Chain A
Amino acid sequence: MIGEIWDLIILSPMINILIVVSGALFNNFGLSIIVLTLIVRGVTIPLTLKQLRSTKALQELQPKMSELQKKYGKDKQKLAQEQMRLYKESGINPAGCLLPMLVQLPIWIALFQSIIRVLAVVPEDFLKLSGHLYSSWPQVFSLVPLNSRFLWLDLAVPDRYLLLPILVGGSMWLQQKMTTPKTGDPRQQAQAQMMLWVMPLMFAFLTLQFPSGLALYWVVSNLISIGLQYFITGGWGGLTAQAATKPAGADRKYIKRLTTAEEKEIDYADTEADIGADVGADIASADVATKEGARYQPSLRAMKRHPKKSKRPKRR
């Protein structure tokens, strides 16, 4: 039953679209996979933007995290409470960064299943393809099996020249590096470093095992992420020492737009009186920092809730 729903909603549409797009692009399945990647990333752009904002906010919370570390360094419990409070107030869910990846998991599985069916490698898989073709799309019957050659790759098998694992791992490392927050806490730094290396290495390893067509999707997807991050969050992020703290043009536009939207919703702000004095201090700090132009603080949601408090002078 689940298999039938999967076939109907995800696998069959993907297979037919891949075939038709391939036919339109000179019978080039590699180009078809790239178009699929663009479509998927296009459809999930709201999630990606949310992730980028979360990542950006996480990066910019680091100075305040360091302050908390200094302030409550000895009281671990209090430190954890304050950190969580900071996350809540900033509207950040650190695990939210994984959502776009989780959403793409079914796409990876479906793409893998599509590749092994449309490229006619194992007869059992290829025979199953017939059940997925739309009878109302006569061209799909003429186009299969698709050509598995793309550049130096055979899209049905792992890259024998090992270039693709390097590209997958490298692009993922670059993307991760751009989003890795700088932190003064050595423990967090170590965790961030681990994340920075574990995922690229795992994907490079998977590239050695999976058909190149799937790895092609990963590379293109990573490149799209890098491009989006560069243009939306401003610069190379964690790749450079300063870039993480400077809002880029696009970012400033986003902040401005968000702030304008927030100003319209100011009236209900004082009804939420459950935020403590510490928060007020943080917000004040954010306000000052923004005015100074040195950095902008991400506690926009908190500002939205307490616009008046945010005008209070910084409390020391």
Chain B
Amino acid sequence: MSKKGVISKALLLAVLLLVLASGLALPSCQTARSVPRGWSGVSVIDEALFLGSMEGKLVAIDGSTQQRLWPDVPFEQKQSGGFGCAQGTQAVAIYGTPAVTFELVYLTGYNGKAYAVNMETGALRWVYPREDELDPIVGGPAVLGDRVYFGSSNGKLYALDAATGDKLWEFESGDKIWGTPAVNGQTLYIGSFDKKLYALNVADGSLKWQFETEGAIVATPLVYDGAVYFGSFDRHLYALNEADGSLRWKYQADNWFWSRPLANDGIIYAGSVDGKVHALKTESGEVVAVFDLESPISASPVLAGGDVIVAAETGQVYSLSINPRQKKSLVNLEDEIYAPLATSDGVIYIHSADDVLYAVDARSGATLWSLELESE
């Protein structure tokens, strides 16, 4: 082989190498990073289901007929025209579960905007902020009374007028906020990547108390029977006194707590990405049972018919009970599940990572219906 041939081969190898490297993740006109897709859960009001699709649309479905209540409402953001790329738009990833009142549906987007949509017509009522955008919003909105609350990756928690979208106050934490706020009475609870759980006055956003853990907090807190329960990335589940934020107890698992826990009849159920659901006494943190699902759990569970329904990331859905203590496999959807579960009238609604909405009978595990949300 001539030197020219050798050099040509070397050059070819180099180019191949670079093509391989660039092939890591380079969708057209995107920088090399994963594309956020979202994992919105479902909100149920009577027979109406509301959720954000992975195409960045607010979808409203009549649960009894599986028909759309109104045409999907698309949310788009400007796509910067990168190197050699024209400017355009792309779908907004929706991670938060929509919050619903009797008039409006509230939605937060990864594009850093919050929206309010008319529940009857799907018409946009307001958007916040009107100009520009915040940092990505991963948590969902929480609505209580005439206010809507949500946190942003810019570390701030916002309180807006639910009817107009005007900002009432904001509270700044030390790092990103990815969780959904929990509101109970006059107090709002929110965790932050700065490892703290904050208790704020809903009236003005002033700090009531704060509690620092050893890890970031993404999980939405649960307020139950005078205590606040939440998990942290330090692998602990915490129980704090609601009044002053003092520690009641903490319990260590093997990995992060990502999802919101659930309480029933004096027992708290917390799914961890260690693949187990930890059932503990709410008063003492004493272990009642540990259910091993053998797959990470990031979707918040629901209570249906006295049983705890929980989904593993692999798509396997279980029904757990303490008396008698059993782990019953309901259904395997064979589709990854990250979105929080929802329930109404004995039916479990599950939004899968393939953008399919499943309705599963909570008792038998039968799939009542499924609907692909992706537009044709």
Interface on A for B, CB 8 Å cutoff? 65, 76, 79-80, 83-84, 87, 94-95, 97-98, 101-102, 105, 108-109, 112-113, 116, 120-125, 127, 130-131, 133, 135, 138, 141-142, 144-145, 156-158, 187-188, 191, 194-195, 198-199, 202-203, 205-206, 208-211
Contact = CB atoms under 8 A, between A and B. Distances in A.
Contacts of A188: 3-4, 7
6 contacts: A95-B13, A122-B33, A130-B296, A188-B4, A205-B83, A206-B22
Given A94-B7, A123-B36, A194-B11, A105 B21 contact: yes
B229 interface: no
Contacts of B195: 142
B31 interface: yes
A206 B31 CA distance: 9
Contacts of A208: 31, 82-83
Report, nearest first, the 9 A-B pairs whose CB atoms are least far apart: A80-B2, A130-B273, A210-B32, A122-B34, A122-B36, A142-B214, A209-B32, A95-B10, A94-B6
Contacts of B235: 138, 141
Which secondary structure characterizes the binding site on chain B? Answer: loop
B9 interface: yes
Interface size class of B (residues with CB under 8 A): 35 or more
Nearest to A185: B3
Interface of B: 1-4, 6-11, 13-15, 17-18, 20-22, 24-26, 31-37, 39, 82-83, 95, 138, 176, 178, 193, 195, 214-216, 233-235, 254-256, 258, 273, 296, 298, 338
Contacts of B15: 198, 202
Contacts of B256: 130, 141
A65 B3 CA distance: 10
A142 B234 CA distance: 6
B335 to A, nearest CB: 15
A120 B138 CA distance: 11
Contact of A95 (B6, B25, B95, B296): B6
B24 A109 contact: yes
B33 A83 contact: no
Contacts of B20: 105
B254 A124 contact: no
Nearest to A210: B32
A138 B215 CA distance: 10
Contacts of A121: 33
Given A142-B234, A145-B193, A127 B338 contact: yes
Contacts of A83: 2-3
Contacts of B255: 130, 133, 135, 141
Given A95-B9, A205-B83, A211-B32, 12 more contacts: A97-B10, A98-B13, A98-B14, A122-B34, A123-B178, A135-B254, A141-B214, A191-B8, A195-B11, A195-B14, A206-B21, A208-B83
A268 to B, nearest CB: 29
B193 A102 contact: no
Nearest to A121: B33
B215 A141 contact: yes
A126 B83 CA distance: 27
B13 A187 contact: no
Contacts of B254: 135
A80 B1 CA distance: 7
Given A141-B234, A142-B215, A199-B14, A157 B178 contact: no
Contacts of B31: 157-158, 208-211
A124 B234 contact: no
A73 B95 CA distance: 68
A221 B200 CA distance: 48
Contacts of B215: 141-142, 144
A248 B216 CA distance: 54
A80 to B, nearest CB: 4
Given A130-B273, A206-B21, A191 B7 contact: yes
A191 B14 CA distance: 14
B138 A123 contact: yes
A203 B338 CA distance: 36
B22 A209 contact: yes
A133 B233 CA distance: 11
Nearest to A84: B1
A210 B1 CA distance: 37
A127 B296 CA distance: 10
A285 to B, nearest CB: 19
A101 B233 CA distance: 37
A101 B17 contact: yes
A158 B195 CA distance: 28
A301 B43 CA distance: 76
A138 B234 CA distance: 8
B21 to A, nearest CB: 6
A79 B178 CA distance: 67
A123 B96 CA distance: 12
Nearest to A165: B83
Nearest to A97: B10
A135 B36 CA distance: 27
A253 B95 CA distance: 62
A209 B7 contact: no
Contacts of A122: 33-36
A83 B3 CA distance: 7
Contacts of A206: 18, 21-22, 32
Given A102-B17, A209-B32, A80 B3 contact: yes
B10 A98 contact: yes
B3 A211 contact: no
B230 to A, nearest CB: 16
A296 B6 CA distance: 24
